[in-house]
Amino acid sequence: MLDESLLDAPEALARADTRGLLRGAADAGARVRTAARHAAEAGIGDLKPDGRPRAVMVAGPGAAGSCTADLLGALSGGNCPVSLIAPTGVAPAPGALRWTLPGWAGPLDLLVVATPDGTEPGLPRLVEQAYRRGCAIVSVAPGQSPLADAVAQARGLMVPLATAPYGSAPYATGGYATGGYGPGGYGTDPYRGDPHAPGAPGAEDTTLAEGALGDAPAPYGTPSVPQPVEPPGTAPDEMTGPALPGTLWALLTPLLLLVDRIGLVSAPPTALQQVADRLDQVAERCGPAIATYTNPAKTLAAELAGALPLLWTEGPVAAATGRRFSGLLAALAGRPALVAELPGALAAHGALLTGAFAGGADPDDFFRDRVEEPEALRARIVLLHEEPVGPISAVPTARELALAHETAFSELEPAEGTPLESAAELLAITDFAAVYLALASPDRT
């Protein structure tokens, strides 16, 4: 059972949030701006590719690799195959993980390594494999890490990971004592509206070494590697577990600028500025000082209490968001969730709407002892879609099916904008919801 009173007590949320999860979710917009600046300093904007790669291979521990690959694939729209190089090993620990290039990888392919840690012994070995085969190599990782050294030796492009821009000070009067985001209890992003902000249009970059392009063996001539500027500061559970709120955008932003440069996704600096603004707007709406009844993330967390979430998605970006939300619910809140894409979800999960998990199952539930007997788990449909419902959408059918089976449902639809902005809004709201559910659960640790 969820402690809903905690959701509307910002100071109590601050005490429960010992890992700084809400801070990470609120910092996402600032992370985008900082990461864009790091990408510009690394020289991504000056790359002169010889065309699109044959394939993009993504490697990284836990959700750092899987979510990055999933979102890049969803946003690319099939312009280029994006595949995950999944790690193998005897345990989910950095020292036990190994990555191996597929047999077909060669000079026409691009290897992307994304990690919030950078100390995994298997990743430098993977970089060495890629170098021997002539692959282009790009990495986003802490600047002072063994992986950064390996990428430099392989003449790849290294972008230092953007760390959290603020300290992890506790709340003060419903918000954070330092930094944060406006009416939601977070103050003001210092980069917001600054024409020289990281990633802002026209922001000048004077750190790129002269004549650094065109000397790499791979087909996307890479500039010289900048000096490390960010020390490792990774939470231990981010090494192999979920990419926590904020960290995902620190990893994803430089790669979006990269794939924009090579023609896979339209993600110029101006578009990423809009993404950062959208993330700030969601942080204002979903902050800890905003009451549950007007806070979409707290509302969703309260609705999922005691429920088995059936995450039904429509559209590639919504599908990637649903898979990430399911992973966060399991990793942070210890809650199971099932994900399926519409219209296939109607058949795949149809039996759950009529069996023991159905909303109207067990007519004797009215006589249950509310104090002594735990509440039965009931299915709840969560609809995630990217665009306004059109004539060929399966969303209306999903709503009708839920009503016909007396199954509760929630619905998330982003405001109008680009696919990148839609992804930002859906990811931000579900990140906040997973954090609130984790903090307000009675069995939280």
Residue located via tokens 């024409």:
195
Whether the predicted model's global pTM rises above the 0.85 cut: no
For the segment 98-138, what is each residue's pLDDT rounded down to a tens digit? 999 999 999 999 999 999 999 999 999 999 999 999 999 99
Is the predicted pLDDT of residue 217 greater than 50, yes or no? no
Would you tell me how many other CB atoms lie within 10 Å of the CB of residue 164?
19
Is the predicted pLDDT of residue 88 greater than 60, yes or no? yes
pLDDT for the residue 195: 41
Residue type, 331: A
Nearest to 277 by CA among 356, 199, 329, 353: 199
pLDDT for the residue 210: 29
Query: Up-side HSE of residue 28: CA atoms within 13 Å toward CB?
Result: 36
DSSP string, 319-335: HHHHHHHHHHHHHHH--
Write the CA distances from 438 to 24, 274, 312, integer angstroms: 14, 29, 21
Nearest to 118 by CA among 143, 147, 155, 160: 147
DSSP state of 312: E
Which of the four pLDDT bands, split at 50, 70 and 90, describes residue 200? very low
Q: State the Cα–Cα distance between residues 243 and 427, nearest whole angstrom.
A: 12
Q: State the Cα–Cα distance between residues 334 and 60, nearest whole angstrom.
A: 23
Which of the four pLDDT bands, split at 50, 70 and 90, describes residue 245? confident
For the segment 389-423, what is each residue's pLDDT rounded down to a tens digit? 778 899 999 999 999 999 999 999 999 889 999 99
pLDDT for the residue 348: 95
For the segment 296-325, what is each residue's pLDDT rounded down to a tens digit? 999 999 999 889 999 999 999 999 999 999
Torsion of Cα atoms, 118 then 120 then 125 then 130, to 10°: -50
pLDDT for the residue 246: 82
